[in-house]
Amino acid sequence: MDCQYACPAHTPVPEYIRLIAQEKYTEAYMINWDSNVFPGVLGRTCDRPCEPACRRGRVEEEPVAICRLKRVAADHKGDVKKLMPQGPFTPNGKKIALIGAGPASLTVARDLAPLGYEIHLFDEQNLGGGFMRSQIPSFRLPETVLNEEVNYILDLGIHTHFKHYVSSLKELLEQPYDAIFVGTGAPRGRDLKIPGRDEGAANIHIGINWLSNVAFEHTHSIGKKVIVLGGGNTAMDCCRTARRLGGEEVKVVVRSPFAEMKASPWEKEDAMHEDIPIIDNHVPLRFVVEDGKLKGMEFEKVKAVIDEKGKRQLVPTGENLVFIEADDVLVAIGQENSFPWIERELGMAFNQWDMPVVDEVTYQSSIAKIFFGGDAAFGPKNVITAVAQGHQAAISMDLFCQDKSLLERPSPFVNLVSMKMGIHEWAYDSEVWTDTRYAVPQAEKTQTLKDRKKEVELGYDGLTGYKEAERCLNCDVQTIFIESKCIECDACMDVCPTSCITFTENREDEMDLRNILKVPATNLTQDLYVSDILPTKKVMVKDENVCVHCGLCAERCPTSAWDMQKFFYNTTKAGKTCH
């Protein structure tokens, strides 16, 4: 399944979407919780790598709203606590330290605590969540949702050491921990060292630091005219937060063209919906400061040009410099890792970017008992990637503590089962809905801009969630063709609504085969399904690119040569299979 493969945590997407359509919200939530740990958080904030991969986008413009359906499961679930591991757990004698209480560390804690590990969690904040708490504004992620899902993990018997900044890895290594996990994120925002930076420092703020100060209620206001520098999701969070803290004229200014901004398309849409213009192709030249007070910024207009090497370059247009007034400037041009607390004399290997050398499979550092994950491992990514890396690091730490090879990873759980219940009856809803994607309702802008804690998105109600879930093509329910049963009557070819089935003589050249199909198969990234040779010397060829998994071929076939079989795939977590 393309959607599941695209998800870093490989969440069984079609499985939980079907459960939502059946109003089995609790079951849908638990399938999510097993894989991605924070369904309520991710249902609001995920970067959605699954959605561009969704095969619905091949037959119409918009994919299934996979992310927002995850929220449906979280919003409508029942009592899930009783379905989670119940402590106290039998101790196994091993002790683990987790540095940082973000999504990666919390995932490690959730996976290892039920196995009997004594987990100690360190963080300088007073609550768990890491950057989910300090960098994602409350109008996108309510604190109640975050607290609930963080506490599911902490309630497993985690020893928390909040308001505790680990200032020395050497000191931690001297304590009796069998393994240490570093999940400290990318805590340092990039600065912009151009003329006027020092003189205007009082009104120039690093974006992630400013968001953190707002989240912990150290900052309550900002000037009326605000410039936000940067084109990523942090910049979108900064500009929208500024609107709620008194910014009346908030502008986002970015060097790159609008289409090349790193921010998710929906994040840009939300910012513009709140009357925030995004000014692209403007390179900052200097902060304009007069009499010690910031007045604004000066920019040079550029255009994107592809050079002879095929690389995009930003070239000045030659137009007059642009001055934009500002009382405050928020710099959100990227994040960096920072490890001042790791003493270099410990012998840990660092690369040319001053990042610890971490194995991409095991997440082990050059010091055998120390593991990394999340942004601390390979730089800034997102919550779902941190969760996926936390799962893999937990497996490695479990294997390490059991004196097993870290390269002998547990195999995933897979299963294949027929969906046929009768000649015309399936164990899943095979009807293909033609509905286009449903918009997620939002609270009134007049209300949300007055209160930074009022959630903007309201989420789908049960009925709309059902309708959106029905747009899923059930890509995990696959067509299985059994050559020995086929009588080559072509009935399946006649009934197929997308003309994706063809019976023809095979070709040595794949492009020749693609072009002689009933409808030419033009998507070269999607493999063809080609059968063995049939009695007439023909083969059955199916273009998987446009199959909608409706099951009509299997219903129509008089000899049951076609079957619809559900493929279930679930990545194995740390546990008994590792021992």
pLDDT tens for each residue of 356-385: 999 999 999 999 999 999 999 998 899 999
pLDDT at position 309 is: 84
Provide the 3-class DSSP secondary structure of residue 308.
Answer: coil
pLDDT at position 423 is: 67
> Nearest 5°: phi and psi at 44?
-110, -30
The whole-number average pLDDT for the span 248-276 is: 96
Cα–Cα distances in Å, from 269 out to 1, 42, 451?
29, 19, 20
Contact status, residue 179 vs residue 371, Cβ threshold 8 Å: yes
Contact status, residue 230 vs residue 331, Cβ threshold 8 Å: yes
- Helices (H) and strands (E) in the chain — how many of each? 20, 24
Q: Do residue 357 and residue 495 come from a single domain?
A: no
418-437 confidence digits (pLDDT tens): 988 876 778 888 888 889 99
| φ/ψ bin of 165: left (φ > 0), alpha (ψ from -120 to 50), beta (otherwise) | beta
List 524's β-bridge partners, or say none. none
**What percentage of the chain has pLDDT greater than the value 70?**
99
Q: Do residue 520 and residue 393 come from a single domain?
A: no
pLDDT at position 425 is: 78
Cα dihedral 351, 354, 360, 364 sign: positive
List 162's β-bridge partners, or say none. 123
Buried b (16+ CB within 10 A) or exposed e, 264-279: bebbbebbeebebebe
pLDDT at position 431 is: 83
Of all helices (H) and strands (E), which one includes residue 97? strand 95-99
Query: Of 297-306, 499-508, 569-578, where does mean pLDDT reach its minimum?
Result: 569-578
492-512 confidence digits (pLDDT tens): 999 999 999 999 999 999 999
Residue 465, both tokens: 């969630």
With vertex at residue 179, the alpha carbon angle to CA 176 and CA 183, rounded to the nearest 5 degrees, is 120
CATH number at residue 27: 1.10.1060.10
Contact status, residue 209 vs residue 234, Cβ threshold 8 Å: no
Q: Do residue 233 and residue 382 come from a single domain?
A: no
User: Does some domain include residue 470?
Assistant: no
pLDDT at position 422 is: 74
Among 25, 59, 82, give the residue marking a domain's end: 82
225-245 confidence digits (pLDDT tens): 999 999 999 999 999 999 999
How far, in Å, CA of 482 to CA of 499, rounded? 19
381-409 confidence digits (pLDDT tens): 999 999 999 999 999 999 999 999 999 99
Tell me which residue has tokens 């730490």: 397
User: Does some domain include residue 368?
Assistant: yes
The length of the chain, given as a count of residues: 579
Q: Do residue 240 and residue 310 come from a single domain?
A: yes
Contact status, residue 394 vs residue 574, Cβ threshold 8 Å: yes
Q: What is the DSSP string of 31-94?
A: HHHHHHS-HHHHHHH---THHHH-GGGGTSSS---HHHHHHHHHHH----GGGS--SPPPP-S-
Cis peptide before 12 (omega within 30 of 0): no
Q: Do residue 418 and residue 536 come from a single domain?
A: yes
Q: Do residue 356 and residue 504 come from a single domain?
A: no
User: Does some domain include residue 138?
Assistant: yes
The yes-or-no verdict on residue 223 having pLDDT over 80 is yes
Q: Do residue 421 and residue 523 come from a single domain?
A: yes
**What percentage of the chain has pLDDT greater than the value 90?**
88
Query: Into how many domains does the chain fold?
Result: 4
Binned at pLDDT 50, 70 and 90, residue 576 comes out as low
DSSP state, 505? E
The yes-or-no verdict on residue 579 having pLDDT over 50 is no
The yes-or-no verdict on residue 578 having pLDDT over 60 is no
List 426's β-bridge partners, or say none. 420
User: Does some domain include residue 125?
Assistant: yes
- Which residue range is the domain that position 99 belongs to? 86-187+337-401
How far, in Å, CA of 156 to CA of 20, rounded? 27
The yes-or-no verdict on residue 138 having pLDDT over 70 is yes
Q: Do residue 579 and residue 430 come from a single domain?
A: yes
Provide the 3-class DSSP secondary structure of residue 261.
Answer: coil
User: Does some domain include residue 466?
Assistant: no
User: Does some domain include residue 446?
Assistant: no
Among 401, 426, 444, give the residue marking a domain's end: 401
The whole-number average pLDDT for the span 283-309 is: 94
Q: Do residue 136 and residue 149 come from a single domain?
A: yes
- 162 or 87: which carries more pLDDT confidence? 162
Among 286, 318, 335, give the residue marking a domain's end: 335
pLDDT at position 433 is: 85
| pLDDT averaged over every residue in the chain | 94
Q: Do residue 220 and residue 325 come from a single domain?
A: yes
User: Does some domain include residue 137?
Assistant: yes
Tell me which residue has tokens 């903007």: 456
Q: Do residue 424 and residue 514 come from a single domain?
A: yes
Q: Do residue 201 and residue 275 come from a single domain?
A: yes
CATH number at residue 276: 3.50.50.60
Contact status, residue 424 vs residue 555, Cβ threshold 8 Å: yes
User: Does some domain include residue 27?
Assistant: yes
Tell me the pTM: 0.92
